[in-house]
């Protein structure tokens, strides 16, 4: 099976800058911070601990959007008082995220114990024009390729029963990706905001993630899965904003089908969906006052070579509902192999 990584939502950091500028209150610039965890990447069984050994996995997601939705969930091209600010934004993002994983031979609380790290590189291309007489007309075009905030999971536990798998992961994102701040002026007010060239988010995140899989049949070829992710964030570096907590529900179903009589080669088809909500307010003098959310559906198609412990998957996710953020499509090619 594939193994979950945390391709960070911080691939969208340039988006946060646009959201800051176009969604700011006129009394002062308000930072609209996105979280680290982005739920469109993982395959349905990636949340569960595999057999002991060393594994290498890699995810290469591509994200594309040109649509912004306001605090009411409506697609807009003009926002601000009287629709004064015109948005014409496009985002194309590609991320390369290797996963280095060790599933130990030890058990904790009768669970398999594993740990992994995800150092990610992000390439973003943002083309946007913001037109407003108060801002004096602002345009931004950024193309970046640099380190993202790495994700460390020192605790990953997995329990297996005849028809059930359970897991629990505890990890954190370190603000070590490229991150700077800059000064922006909104009307007569001037404030500090994250730079549009950032590939890191500039804050720590603690992430907890329980997951469950139900296998209706003894061969475990059919799976119904669900995972709940909870993010708790620290204050942003150089900006008076602490991003609110986020809760994400990933859910779906998948089926393995044999390509050979000995079942050494399999294909996997699956349905996947996620729902993500900001559940607490951003805090601080430069914080945003709207809780964002995003919802998506999609599917995955994979191939597994059982003797070589190798699997490759393609996944597509379409975001169909968004509040106070951009809405787009995800395409992801990923593979995993047991090294030894």
Predicted confidence (pLDDT) at residue 89 exceeds the cutoff of 70: no
- Residue 306, classed as helix, strand or coil, is coil
Pairwise CA distance, residues 184 & 326, whole Å = 21
In the chain, DSSP finds a helix count (H) and a strand count (E) of 1, 19
pTM, rounded to two decimals? 0.85
Question: How confident is residue 246, by pLDDT bands cut at 50, 70 and 90?
Answer: very high
Residue 144 or residue 289, greater confidence: 289
Pairwise CA distance, residues 173 & 152, whole Å = 6
Name the architecture of domain 9-338: Beta Barrel (2.40)
Q: Pinpoint the alpha helices (H) of 110-264.
A: none
> What are the boundaries of each domain within the chain?
9-338
Biggest alpha carbon–alpha carbon distance for the chain: 72
pLDDT (mean) for 221-238: 96
CA dihedral angle for residue 41, residue 45, residue 51, residue 53, rounded to 10 degrees: -10
In DSSP terms, 124 is beta-bridged to 93, 144
Question: b/e per residue, 124-137, with b = 16+ CB within 10 A?
Answer: bebbbebebeebee
Residue 189 has a pLDDT of: 57
Do 16 and 199 touch, CB atoms closer than 8 A?
Answer: no
Do 272 and 315 touch, CB atoms closer than 8 A?
Answer: yes
Predicted confidence (pLDDT) at residue 220 exceeds the cutoff of 60: yes
Pairwise CA distance, residues 334 & 3, whole Å = 10
Residue 33 or residue 1, greater confidence: 33
Question: How confident is residue 11, by pLDDT bands cut at 50, 70 and 90?
Answer: very low
């Amino acid at each position: 099976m594939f193994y979950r990584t945390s391709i960070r939502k911080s691939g969208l950091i340039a988006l946060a800058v646009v959201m800051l500028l176009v969604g700011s209150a006129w009394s002062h610039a308000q930072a609209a911070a996105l979280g680290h965890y982005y739920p469109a990447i993982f395959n349905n069984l990636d949340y569960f601990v595999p057999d002991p050994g060393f594994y290498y996995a890699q995810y290469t997601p591509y994200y594309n959007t040109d649509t912004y939705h306001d605090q009411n969930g409506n697609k807009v091209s003009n926002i601000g008082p009287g629709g004064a600010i015109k948005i014409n934004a496009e985002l194309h993002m590609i991320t390369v995220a290797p996963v280095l994983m060790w599933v130990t031979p030890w058990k904790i609380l009768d669970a398999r114990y594993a740990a992994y790290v995800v150092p990610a590189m992000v390439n973003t291309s943002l083309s946007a024009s913001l037109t407003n007489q108060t801002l004096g007309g602002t345009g931004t075009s950024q193309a970046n390729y640099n380190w993202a905030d790495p994700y460390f999971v020192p605790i990953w536990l997995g329990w297996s029963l005849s028809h059930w798998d359970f897991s629990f992961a505890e990890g954190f994102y370190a603000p070590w990706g490229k991150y700077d701040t800059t000064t922006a002026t909104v009307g007569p007010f001037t404030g500090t905001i994250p730079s549009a060239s950032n590939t890191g988010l500039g804050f720590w995140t603690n992430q907890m993630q329980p997951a469950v899989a139900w296998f209706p049949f003894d061969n475990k070829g059919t799976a119904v899965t669900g995972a709940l992710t909870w993010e708790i964030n620290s204050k942003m570096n150089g900006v008076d904003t602490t991003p609110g907590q986020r809760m994400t529900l990933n859910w779906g179903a998948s089926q393995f089908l044999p390509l050979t009589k000995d079942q050494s080669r399999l294909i996997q088809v699956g349905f996947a969906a996620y729902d993500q909500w900001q559940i607490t307010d951003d805090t601080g003098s430069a914080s945003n006052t709207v809780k964002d959310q995003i919802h998506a559906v999609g599917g995955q198609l994979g191939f597994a070579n059982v003797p070589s412990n190798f699997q490759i998957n393609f996944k597509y996710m379409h975001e169909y509902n968004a509040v106070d953020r951009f809405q787009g499509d995800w395409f992801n090619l990923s593979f995993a192999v047991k090294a030894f």
